[in-house]
Amino acid sequence: MPQSSFPHLIAPMKATNGELPTGPGWQHELKWDGMRLLVHIHDGELTLRSSNQLDVTVRFPELAGLADAFGGRDIVLDGEAVALDETGRPDFAVLQQRMHISDPVEAQRRSVVIPAALQIFDLLYFDGHDLMGLPLADRRRTLEALVEDGPAWRVTTAHDDGAPLLALADEQDLEGVVSKKLDSLYRPGSRSSAWRKVKIRRHQEFVVGGWAAGEGQRRGRLGSLLVGYYDDRGGLRYAGRVGSGFSQAELRRLLDRLQPHERVTSPFAEELPRADLVGATFVDPVMVVEVAYAEWSPIGRLRHPSYLGERIDADPSAVTSEI
């Protein structure tokens, strides 16, 4: 393999949403609820970069030891930084307490209080050789031979059969599974069907209490739904905005359905966040929709909600939380 110059910037390859693949030719890993990191070690110096190429090295001082882990040889690794909640589950909300810290002293303090760990799943460059043009199976084989688990990093476990792993992720309330073709090359900056993410998404009925105008291609039309559920005191509790999962035709249909029910006051029992009020129009709570979501946030908001359809067979007053 010919020598190549060190790649200081690499846009990470990303997965597409899809169904869990079966059969040979795939490997399956847990999907981590964290922050994607590209690890660049060049001339003994460590640089950590986010997906959008920000230098975030100072934010994760517990990874500094990686710089000495490869005998002075240059290397680029791909992985995900995670932080755990009180139950031991990866939690993006916890990691957010680390992600925005730029002061080295504060970052060091938080690395003790809220430790992060790097889950390493790919090897892109090593000792003068660009490995991105090799099949994943070869990159993984080399990765597992080179990288030993450290105090704040480890190589992820790859599985041949995705179904048991997905069942385990569901059982332990994890985010899902990422499946990758063993012959896939690393395509920087691309979102490829050769990598497939399978999220464990919950779904339930919600009452529509309003809609918000869209932006971009949705400007001037419905962009998202404001949804909620009734609590045991009969108050409509706000659960968040749902802005994905719609066809253009369904957006038009929903707007036609909702406009006759517009009202001045909010039907929700609590005051909505200021950001969610921007462009919002309230409606009588007469429509029920089915919404898929990844999880509830600590403040009772849906994470990654997606519209599945209107439930014309449901009574709005009977819609409660299924947490």
HEC sequence for 79-147:
EEEEEECCCCCECHHHHHHHHCCCCHHHHHHHHHHCCEEEEEEEEEEECCEECCCCCHHHHHHHHHHHC
137-173 in b/e form (b: 16+ CB < 10 A) is bebbeebeebbeebebbebbebbeebeebbeebeeee
From residue 127, how far is each of 27, 69, 73, 74 by CA, in Å? 26, 13, 5, 5
**Residues contacting residue 8 through CB under 8 Å, at least 6 positions apart:** 40, 42, 47
Tally of CB atoms within 10 A around 55: 11
Q: Is 180 a catalytic residue?
A: no
CA distances from 310 to 92, 124, 137, 164, 307 (A): 30, 45, 44, 33, 9
Quote the tokens at residue 231. 């609590």
Rounded CA separation 93/257 (Å): 36
Q: Which of 31, 180, 181, 199 is catalytic?
A: 31
Catalytic residue positions, numbered: 31
